[in-house]
Chains A and B, each alone.
Chain A
Amino acid sequence: MTVVLRAAMDQGLVALQRQLRTLAPDIALITDGEHALERTTPDTRPPRLVRAELAEGHALQARPVPGDPVAAFAAFLDGTQTSRVVAYVDGTPIVHGTVAAVVRSRRNRRLTTWRQPIVQRRLYVCLRALKPERRRLLEALGIRLVDTTPTSEDPAAHPYILQNDAVHRVQEDREEAERKLAEQWCTNERDPLFIDGSISGSDKIAVSACTVGVVKSHRTLYAEGDALQTIFSLRRGERSSVFRVTSPKRVPVASWYLRLRDSLGHDPMWGLVRVEIAYPTRNDLDAIGARADEVSLWTLAEVSPLALPDARWDKMVYGIHDCEEFLHAVT
């Protein structure tokens, strides 16, 4: 996921605000072009260490990836989201969210858009907190409304809580858009698809042989103790042993850490990604190491060209950077 940050509010947002001003001049519009909510909303998830079940060997080890990198990914998938408060209606934030996702396929070393990208613009509002006439007013704007009213909590919550809820709903929509495109790919294509982020959110994607998820953020590290030191000390071109990542709401996947760039002089997670692929069947479990090597070589092939000027260039591959640039242009 990527947050698209703009220096100024886009024209779609301004047009929406003009409509609002016409319909209800008393509404307090936010017109100062403040930052996207994704930037101001802190990630409240605590960093944590999770012990993972090994799928390869008996202890988590550093393993050099044998062979030369191979450019095997046929396409890259990424999504973006951006949320802004356009107005406060009776103290309730009205959040405009834009989500987008795209698959950029690679032919002759050049990236082009695969099928239609998804771009959605919606208003995220806690409808229960609004008076009926205000709801009707928002419905008259002609943009789809998403009710962010929490099912179990009092709707008359702090506006910041309502903003956070809205941002999370935008995030869900963005993940849904990404999932939709990934499933289309799995249905129609057989070549490997590089997905920015985890693949475990979808039953179909998580078990597909053609999807590879690459996770750049490490708020959750799947290792403890010596295993953690092993991951931190991975050198460039080395991977960890494969382990199984499970979650109550997600599909189990096979995963391993891979060092894309030498972290000397940087923090231990610099150039470190976690790769996810479908968890093998019992019969194929013995071959998981070879499969991890193969996918690691594919991933290592993407270290060039650099994704600069993106600040996450140490972990981001150029194909994903290209997806973001594309979505930046169309949203």
Chain B
Amino acid sequence: MTTITPLGRVVATERRPNTPHEFHFWTSLDSPVGVGTIVRVEGKYTINGTITRVYGVVVEGFSYSDLQSPLHDVLGHDGSPSAASLASTERAEIRLYTAAVLRQLPDEPLQPVPLGDVYLADDADIAVALRMDSYLAEGARTGIPIGVYHAGGTDAPIYLDADFLIGPEAAHLNITGVSGLATKTSAIEWILSSIFAHFPEQKGSVAALCFNVKGPDLCFLDEPGAIDDRDRALYEKCGVPAAPFENVQYYAPYKSDGISLNTLRSNDALLHNVNALTWGLREVLQYAEVLLNKDDVDAKADALIDFIRERIVDRDFSDELVLPGKRYRVRSFADLEQWFKDVLVALEHRGNESWRTHHVATIRKVRNRLSNISTRCAGLVTDDGNVGDLPFGSFQDRTVYVIDVASLEEDAQDLVFARIVTKLREHLEKRDLGVKHVIVFVDELNKYAPGDGQDTYVRKMLLDLAERGRYLGLVLFSAQQFRSQVHRRVVGNSGTALYGRMDADELATPGYSVLSPAVKTKLATLEKGQLMVRHPHFTQPIFVRFPRPAIMRGRDGAERYPQAQDITLATAVLRSLRPLDSTITLNWVQDVIEIHDDDAVIRARNATLLERPADVKRFFKSQLAPIVPPKAVSRPMATPIRSAPGDDPYGF
């Protein structure tokens, strides 16, 4: 339906002519037009039998009066500003706007915008202006609501095209904005909710994997949060349920003690879906280059690591020449350490300086670096091998997997990124992940994919993900404070870009030069819950409002569910084994582990978690070395020494 009353008129002068991509119009002083408002221009003449219709979005505004000099106003009011309000008449004033063309109908021939009446765009106009009509058609609907466009009396949902958000046409989303306004994380949570609600069935399944890199932001995605009526109206308008995520699985490594999970979501009430994330030697060695400094590990060391990866780990190994009689099957850091030790001792004894072309110094160096990994990534990397991992192969549709790496060291975070994303890619290539599409959310992209600095494995991985992920269904949703400082290929490959409130310094960088000063000003003053959206279908950025996520905010969650204090070993074991066998009690655990040392208990727990046996109690007990009860040793009766005959010195 069209608005009957025009709110403005297109004007053009020789100095300021209209073009095919830009036009100017004036409005009354009380019109609801502002920067970001979408308008429709009705032409007066037909082209090829069609009356031209132009859609545009306001990108600049001007206001001026008939004053030629500010001095005239000063003189007119005797230099007293208060006198101005007493003037009997207000000066003639104009509101002149510049709009960027969103779409022209007919598309051809492309002509300058004609003079004509300007109307506020309604819902139908906005769908046409933003070319949403092509993907909102019944039967082929691929629209994902991103928010609501609001201007005047118009509240129109704005949709992104799933084909251009999740792939395969384009993919990836990047959001930028200043910290502390709860915009970036909230927007991602809202968009994931929207995707889960609207992702077309025919396009298959979709899951999200979020790396929680700071604070408790993503730790309570399954807990309801407070929203108000305005938010509810936005949810209703967009057709998205105002509810937290139904299916969320959390993964976190252990703390260095190997007992408590290293996450802010450690409250007893929330542990039902928190899983341990621990990897062993095999998993880590595949990504050794993530953890090892390139300056440190030269080609010789790299060759030895390759040798260990290919020939030692998880293989039966023997070397009769150097390690005679010894058989190795290295499955853990502990095994590897023993192997290194034996090799080096043998070389020392033999006086050899090299082993299988690897110099002893290189062996010592690699031993040092690899052994150090389990220390640097304590809690994530265990001596006992892979204990807890993501359910690669059985990912569930519309499920959020949160990997809490907020408390990990930087190296460990890099390892987590590298391994998980690589595994996702491998499984998606083989089509056996369990879902067809995975959205990977990475915050703080400034840190993980900076535009300058040393090339890191994680940055290369993110670049690869941004450039090739969409063909696999692997989609990167990323966020950062300073888009200008992120690698250009990462943000450049993001088909959809969102902008929250921006820092003025950031807006002054060349990447924002395409935006008008008015749009920049609006970006610098955006409220919470407002975004500027760029999407392949939209020829100009559009401002939308999105609701607060119906999810408990991290800060609220941290207050309501305080982090658990460090727990006892028995409690840790109970928490680990309870999901496997609900009959296990704390008393039972205490009884079983009472006499064993902590390391043995942890090893037994890890082995049980790895095996996931049918009889958990029995298996767990079997993993603990049996304690042999002490037996009283009876002293054997001493046989008396026969006395030698006096006449027989030999005793015969």
Contacts and interface: CB of A to CB of B under 8 A. Distances in A.
Interface of A: 69, 71, 73, 106, 109-111, 301-302, 304-306, 308-309, 318-319, 321-322, 325
B89 A305 contact: yes
A321 B75 CA distance: 17
A302 B88 CA distance: 6
A110 B29 CA distance: 11
Interface string B10-30: 000000000000000000010
26 contacts: A71-B88, A71-B89, A106-B89, A109-B89, A110-B29, A110-B89, A111-B92, A301-B88, A302-B88, A302-B89, A304-B77, A305-B73, A305-B76, A305-B77, A305-B87, A305-B89, A305-B91, A306-B73, A306-B75, A308-B68, A308-B75, A309-B69, A309-B72, A321-B66, A322-B89, A322-B92
- The 7 lowest CB-CB distance pairs between A and B, nearest first, are A71-B88, A306-B76, A308-B72, A304-B87, A309-B68, A109-B90, A305-B76
B67 interface: yes
B110 interface: no
Nearest to B78: A304
A308 B83 CA distance: 17
A11 to B, nearest CB: 14
A110 B88 CA distance: 9
B595 to A, nearest CB: 91
- State which size class the interface on B falls in: 10 to 19
Nearest to B89: A318
Contacts of B67: 308
A73 B88 CA distance: 9
A69 B86 CA distance: 10
A308 B76 contact: yes
A304 B83 CA distance: 9
B92 A325 contact: yes
A306 B71 CA distance: 11
A173 to B, nearest CB: 27
Contacts of A110: 29, 89-90
Interface of B: 29, 66-69, 72-73, 75-77, 83-84, 86-92
B76 to A, nearest CB: 4
Given A304-B76, A308-B76, A325 B89 contact: no
Nearest to B74: A306
A50 B401 CA distance: 99
A305 to B, nearest CB: 5
Contacts of A321: 66
Contacts of B84: 304-305
Contacts of A109: 87-90
Contact of B66 (A69, A301, A325): A325
Most buried by B among A69, A318, A325: A318
Contacts of B87: 109, 304-305
Most buried by B among A301, A304, A325: A304
A308 B73 CA distance: 9
Contacts of B75: 306, 308
Contacts of A322: 89, 92
Contacts of B88: 69, 71, 73, 106, 109, 301-302, 304
A75 B92 CA distance: 15
A69 B83 CA distance: 12
B71 to A, nearest CB: 9
Nearest to A305: B76
A71 B86 CA distance: 9
A273 B84 CA distance: 23
Contacts of A106: 88-89
A322 B67 CA distance: 12
A76 to B, nearest CB: 9
Contacts of B76: 304-306, 308
A318 B87 CA distance: 10
Nearest to A76: B89
A305 B72 CA distance: 9
Contacts of B86: 304
B201 to A, nearest CB: 57
Contacts of A318: 89, 91
A67 to B, nearest CB: 14
A319 B75 CA distance: 17
Contact of A306 (B29, B72, B92): B72
Contacts of B89: 71, 106, 109-111, 302, 305, 318-319, 322
Nearest to A303: B76
A319 B91 CA distance: 9
A193 B274 CA distance: 81
B27 to A, nearest CB: 14
Nearest to A109: B90
Contacts of A309: 68-69, 72
Contacts of B29: 110
Contacts of A325: 66, 92
Contacts of B77: 304-305
Nearest to A309: B68
A208 B268 CA distance: 90
A308 B72 CA distance: 7
A325 B68 CA distance: 14
B289 to A, nearest CB: 72
A85 B88 CA distance: 40
Contacts of B69: 308-309
Contacts of B91: 305, 318
Given A304-B87, A305-B87, A305-B91, 14 more contacts: A73-B88, A106-B88, A109-B89, A111-B89, A302-B89, A304-B76, A304-B86, A305-B77, A305-B84, A305-B89, A306-B73, A306-B76, A318-B89, A318-B91
A185 B187 CA distance: 60
Nearest to B68: A309
Contacts of A305: 73, 76-77, 84, 87, 89-91
A279 B623 CA distance: 120
Contacts of A302: 88-89
B66 to A, nearest CB: 6
